[in-house]
């Protein structure tokens, strides 16, 4: 005999703002960014909601541009009806190739008023917070994709004193670059006149290496994931973690995304 089901009353819900909610649109092939976010975002105070957008390797400008038509739909999947403190589009090379304005427009169509973060724009803000203008660039990308990275930072007013790339075509391979290779490449890409270095690509597994590279080079290091998560934490009003580079020592000012 089946017993009846009782309905319990007095169900109480947590207020909507009890947890800071952040959105992330990650590439379907990305293996690194979510893992890095788990290391930096405080789980009790921040909820990261992720959707994926289709991407086909290699990381050529043409393939990166092909993602734009699907970006609005991917952003629309991020917990509909719930407030988000910010949305990050987790691809450095695509945001540079497409342009920040195009990313803002695509996401803004479905989540109007929500601050939008791109890794390259977050890096620009990071260098501004660190007070540096002369930078060296290291990318894992092909040469044709790296050229756009140099142009982006030059247009943003930086003196790019040196640019190096690893000439890797597949972002799944980028996610498997060894720690020794990243450290050695950063040392090789440095220039005496550079005040800081940027390591590009959200797939690059560099987050845990930043402090050690800074100690070797004697200057700040900014990476795509570090800068993006730094800005996401800042917008959400969360405390900054320690041990992941000098950037997290910069006083918080709620810089926002605009």
List, for residues 29-62, the tens digit of each pLDDT value: 999 999 999 999 988 889 999 999 999 999 999 9
If you search the block for the tokens 């109007």, which residue do you land on? 112
Give the pLDDT of residue 253. 59
Each domain of the chain, given as residue ranges in start order, spans 18-118+227-249, 121-223
Q: Nearest Cα to 121, choosing from 144, 171, 87, 147?
A: 87
Lowest model confidence (mean pLDDT) among 5-19, 140-154, 192-206? 5-19
Q: How confident is the model at residue 16 (pLDDT cuts 50, 70, 90)?
A: confident
pLDDT at 75 over 70: yes
Residue 71 has pLDDT above 80, yes or no: yes
The reply to whether 18-118+227-249 and 121-223 are identical in fold is yes
* Segment 185-205, tens digit of pLDDT: 999 999 999 999 999 999 999
Which residues, listed in sequence order, are joined to residue 48 by a DSSP beta bridge? 22
Q: What is the pLDDT of residue 257?
A: 44
User: So what's the pLDDT on residue 1?
Assistant: 58
Beta strands in the chain (DSSP E): 20-27, 46-53, 86-90, 116-117, 134-139, 159-165, 196-199, 221-223
52: three-class secondary structure by DSSP: strand
173: which residues sit within 8 A by CB, 6+ positions away?
none
pLDDT tens, position by position, 90-112: 999 999 999 999 999 999 999 99
Phi, psi of 207 (to 5 degrees): -55, -45
pLDDT at 258: 43
121-223: CATH topology is Rossmann fold (3.40.50)
pTM: 0.92
Instruction: For domain 18-118+227-249, give the fold.
Output: Rossmann fold (3.40.50)
Close Cβ partners of 9 (under 8 Å, ≥ 6 residues apart): none
Q: Is the pLDDT of residue 131 over 90?
A: yes
Strand order in the sheet with 159-165: 159-165, 134-139, 196-199, 221-223
How are strands ordered across the β-sheet holding 86-90? Answer: 46-53, 20-27, 86-90, 116-117
């Amino acid at each position: 005999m089946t017993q009846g089901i009782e309905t319990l009353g007095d169900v109480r819900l947590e207020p909507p703002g009890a947890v800071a909610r952040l959105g992330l649109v990650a590439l379907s092939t990305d293996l690194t960014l979510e893992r890095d976010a788990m290391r930096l975002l405080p789980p009790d105070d921040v909820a990261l909601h992720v959707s994926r957008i289709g991407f086909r390797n290699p990381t050529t400008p043409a393939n990166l541009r092909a993602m734009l038509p699907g970006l609005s739909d991917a952003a629309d999947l991020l917990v509909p009806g719930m407030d988000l403190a910010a949305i990050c589009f987790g691809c450095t090379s695509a945001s540079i190739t497409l342009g920040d304005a195009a990313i803002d427009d695509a996401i803004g169509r479905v989540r109007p008023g929500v601050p939008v973060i791109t890794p390259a724009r977050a890096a620009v803000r990071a260098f501004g917070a660190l007070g540096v203008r002369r930078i060296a660039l290291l990318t894992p990308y092909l040469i044709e994709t790296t050229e756009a990275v140099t142009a982006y930072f030059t247009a943003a007013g930086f003196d790019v004193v040196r640019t190096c790339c690893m000439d890797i075509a597949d972002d799944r391979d980028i996610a498997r670059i060894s720690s020794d290779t990243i450290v050695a490449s950063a040392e090789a890409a440095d220039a005496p006149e550079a005040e800081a270095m940027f390591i590009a690509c959200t797939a690059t597994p560099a987050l845990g290496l930043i402090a050690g590279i800074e100690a070797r080079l004697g200057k700040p290091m900014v990476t795509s994931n570090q800068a993006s998560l730094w800005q996401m934490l800042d917008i959400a009003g969360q405390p900054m973690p320690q041990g992941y580079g000098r950037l997290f020592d910069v006083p918080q000012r709620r810089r926002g995304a605009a």
